[in-house]
Amino acid sequence: MGANFITGTGTDIGKTWLACALLRHWRQQGMRPAAIKPVLSGFDPAAGGASDAGRLLVALGRPANLAEIDAIAPWRFAAPLSPDLAAAREGRRIVFDDLLAFTRQAVTGAPLLIEGVGGVMVPLDEQHTVRDWIAASGLPCVLVAGTYLGSLSHTLTALEALARVGAGVTAIAINETPDSPVALAATVESLSRHVAGVPVVAIARGHPDAGIARLAELLC
């Protein structure tokens, strides 16, 4: 296994939850995975352990202190906004080449998850979005989607955006949306008809282990 981005169709779709579940699964299998969350908005230093980066560190069995967070999430911003806007509020900007270099340096051959920020088309700076980051890295991604009403359109739109820049998709993880009127199985069945060649993995909210295990195998 190499490295894979964890990206999503939008914000709060479950990227961190899924990444943590994969990391714990691999550790239980005796593997030594790694993870980075280079860009993080809405960061509160007083609650670093509860941040996305902090949760990844806990899943890795590492302390979620500020030094460890800094090592995996160097671009942190206070405002819970898109990275370009959050950075601008602090008089800062993300230098895309620096972000790309940091990402590439993290790839060592060990299992690695690179968690993106927001959805596929979230702006990073004046010219680049998350999909540009994925494409420029040359690494494949897992697209995390939901089962809420409208998720099929959002997922297919995200796939089209990734395809336009040649970004490879290892799998689509359908993370069941709580209290959705759309069934998980129906979402998987419908989406599968439109994404021939891309595995669609169902992640049931109440009992996710089987889905996590299947996704972990696809990434190995």
Angle at 176 between CA 159 and CA 28, to 5 degrees: 95
Alpha carbon 104 to chain centroid, angstroms = 16
Between the CA of residue 136 and those of 22, 95, 181, what are the distances in Å? Answer: 24, 14, 37
Exposure b/e, 58-68, CB count within 10 A at least 16 = b: bbbebebeeeb
Catalytic residue among 25, 37, 76, 128, which?
A: 37
15 is catalytic: no
CA distance 110 to 63: 20
Residue type at position 211: G
* Catalytic residue numbers, as ranges: 37
